[in-house]
A and B are shown apart, each in its own frame.
Chain A
Amino acid sequence: MSKGHKGFPWNHVIGFFLSIALTIFAVLMVQYTDFSKSTVMFIIGTLAILQAAIQLFMFMHITEGKSGVINIINITYSVFLAVVIVVGSIWILTTGHAAH
């Protein structure tokens, strides 16, 4: 169990606080600025991708492990899920009845 984990887990702590900071930043930006809707969406989208990257590197051990194949399968599946959920939801909720 203790093998391979030496010292204080700085990565986790930094990643944790960065994630919280990015989330709070997104909320503050929406609450207290009056950017146009497309600007807001752009900034939130960028923050989301940034946060996903932080999670991958700080928590998800993407740089560890011998087998690159497993990482590729994981990432492909995650991207597939993210696209289905995000693009699918936007498509469903902005077309049809909701568009009128």
Chain B
Amino acid sequence: MTWDQFFVTGDPLILASQIAIALTMVGLVVLVTYLKRWKWLWKEWFTTVDHKKIGIMYILAGVVMFFRGGVDGLMMKAQTSRPELEFLDAQHYDEVFTTHGVIMILFMAMPMLIGIMNVVIPLQIGARDVAFPKLNALSFWVFFVGAMLFNISFVIGGSPDAGWTAYFPLAGKEFTPGVGNNYYAIALQIAGIGTLATGVNFIVTILKMRAPGMTLMKMPMFTWTALVTNVIIVAAFPILTVALAFMTLDRLFGTHFFTVAAGGDPMLWLNLFWLWGHPEVYIVVLPAFGMFSEVISTFSRKNLYGYKSMVASIVGIAFLSMLVWVHHFYTMGNSGAVNSVFSITTMAIAIPTGVKIFNWLFTMRKGRIKFTNAMLWSLAFIPCFTIGGVTGVMLAMAAADYQYHNTMFLVAHFHYVLIPGVVFAVFAGLYYWWPKMFGFKLNEKIGYWHFWLFVIGFNVTFMPMFFVGLDGMSRRMFTYSASTGWGPLLGLSAIGALILAAGFAALCYNIYWSFRYASRDVGNDPWDARTLEWATASPPPHYNFAKVPEVSQLDEFWENKKAGITGLKKNEIEEIHMPSNSWTPLFMAVAFGIVGFFLVFEWFIPAAISAVLIVIGLILNSFDYDHGYHVSVEEVEETERKWRGDLK
């Protein structure tokens, strides 16, 4: 392999990115050195096991990946904005839609949601950290390294180009001989380890570390959705692990799991991919439902309507989510019986989802609604998501699906599900929990710009896609002739994408503005909210709660406020046991990254040698007898006085 094969060359856009990446990295290093922040970075962030900091790093990574995936989306919209444009060629367009899909689902939606879960869940259940803090750090770093490995593909070696679904035989060595799809197989595998570990970690945290008295049916709704989400993660991600392992074996070692030759079966890939892929949709959408539940209940000044039916519908969705995967490939040539059964299970999912929609509406009914930014996102979610849901029921009918399958109608549908269902929720969650994370609110006025630009842009971008789809435009077409008549609608869609981008820019400006100018005087409970995370300081001290709260009812914090029970007595403070920082998670993740990089290029000997680093990391972890440290009563007292004033 020569250097001009190693680096991607010959495209001015990519050359510009390579220069920009190099300059950004040099700039970051210079900036951190100039500000003398290396030690601070290492101590406070790189080696931290604090769930709040890990959550913030997840969210930061998610925002950066949102930018990357968004630029991919803008490039596609630019290319299709006029008939027969020559902005991107077919190969480049393939690469762009592939990375757009993978990044938006796995490296934007997932870390945003897992990040918010990390920050909020331990606080919401009154715990001091997650069950396995060091494993949590490992989850983050492994995810981050996997994401970065995937991201460099477009400048080093070449992007994957077989779609985010990477269907065989196209994704096999025969048809995509470059390293692009090796990146797909290996980077996703590495990031997947992190997600699976998160799943285990949060199940144990929620089941074992709830505050005394908080029974399952007294858990906040976001905690419920997080629990069920993580159960689905543990159920579904191993399927992706196996499928990706088979893909890796096929591509790197010449086996024939999915090839057409030698008895392999490409359809097995589709089957395994969607056995994971469909539950994945619910993995990203359930925590979003939980966030909307919290936000809607808080800003309607009412408890959540139909708590029990909400729980039942979440569990119902989780159960059904494992039973619908065939609806992604009705046209593969399944028997009529298979398609019929999966049509019915798919349509059945609309029932628990509908229950939830009505519960939210009834929560708002007769409530004293406050139109904060977080609430606006929740309100916009309901109609937009319902359009996505209803078109989903259309697609669920196998016979009708032969008409819609793999058209822009489908693309419009899943953007109408995932953007309101995940992105709106993440925005609602960010505006809602921002003061808890950072001790200041995001600016509401700039937030309105963010909201209106984004929601209008979203509808202008994706609504036209329904119509070009019904008009016969298939997905992933990089160009079309003027005689198709799609030009005006796709042009409109491209304008919408610009408005969408302006909305994202408004969010970034809002973060910048609020960071510099927003009032730091928000108190512990700026929204007059209901759940336990608001009972402690904003941002919370590293030990979360000076005294672990006791719970006897749903919305304990709200009921206590009404009854006037607040405050902390001095004699209640005890020593607090906390986990120590650790550098081994970062070390292990970097080791995985190095091995992964060598495997992508099929340099097996360097890969085998550097795999020793992973083993060293495992041994270090196995013989780590650090049992953490204790925070003294005096330190706790001092920290609590700072935000509570004098203790009783």
Contact = CB atoms under 8 A, between A and B. Distances in A.
Interface of A: 1-2, 77, 80-81, 84-85, 88-89, 91-93, 95-99
Contacts of A92: 271, 326, 334, 338
Contact of B338 (A77, A80, A81, A96): A96
A89 B275 contact: yes
Contact of A97 (B272, B323, B333, B625): B333
B627 interface: yes
Contact of A85 (B239, B332, B334): B239
B235 A96 contact: no
B512 to A, nearest CB: 43
B235 A95 contact: no
A1 B334 contact: no
Interface string B309-340: 00000000000001100100000111111100
A89 B334 CA distance: 11
B334 A95 contact: yes
A93 B267 contact: yes
A9 B322 CA distance: 35
A93 B332 CA distance: 10
B333 A84 contact: no
A80 B239 CA distance: 15
Contact of A84 (B265, B322, B335): B322
A91 B333 contact: no
B323 A84 contact: yes
A91 B338 contact: yes
A98 B333 CA distance: 7
22 contacts: A80-B322, A81-B235, A81-B322, A84-B322, A85-B239, A89-B271, A91-B338, A92-B326, A92-B338, A93-B265, A95-B334, A95-B335, A95-B338, A96-B333, A96-B335, A96-B336, A96-B338, A97-B332, A97-B333, A98-B265, A98-B267, A98-B333
A97 B331 CA distance: 10
Interface string B222-235: 00000000000001
A95 B340 CA distance: 13
Interface majority SS (helix, strand, loop, mixed), chain B: helix
Nearest to A81: B235
Interface residues of B, number: 20
A24 B219 CA distance: 46
A24 to B, nearest CB: 15
B355 interface: no
A91 to B, nearest CB: 7
Nearest to A80: B322
A85 B338 contact: no
B444 to A, nearest CB: 44
Nearest to A95: B335
A21 to B, nearest CB: 19
Contacts of B326: 92
Given A91-B338, A93-B265, A85 B333 contact: no
Given A84-B323, A88-B275, A93-B268, 13 more contacts: A80-B322, A81-B235, A81-B322, A89-B271, A92-B326, A93-B265, A93-B267, A93-B271, A95-B335, A95-B337, A97-B333, A98-B265, A98-B333
Interface string B378-413: 000000000000000000000000000000000000
Interface string B262-296: 00010110011001000000000000000000000
B268 A89 contact: yes
Contacts of A96: 332-336, 338
Contacts of B627: 1-2
Nearest to B325: A88
Interface in B595-648: 625, 627
Nearest to B236: A81
A14 B239 CA distance: 25
B591 to A, nearest CB: 21
Contacts of A91: 338
A85 B272 CA distance: 9
Nearest to A70: B207
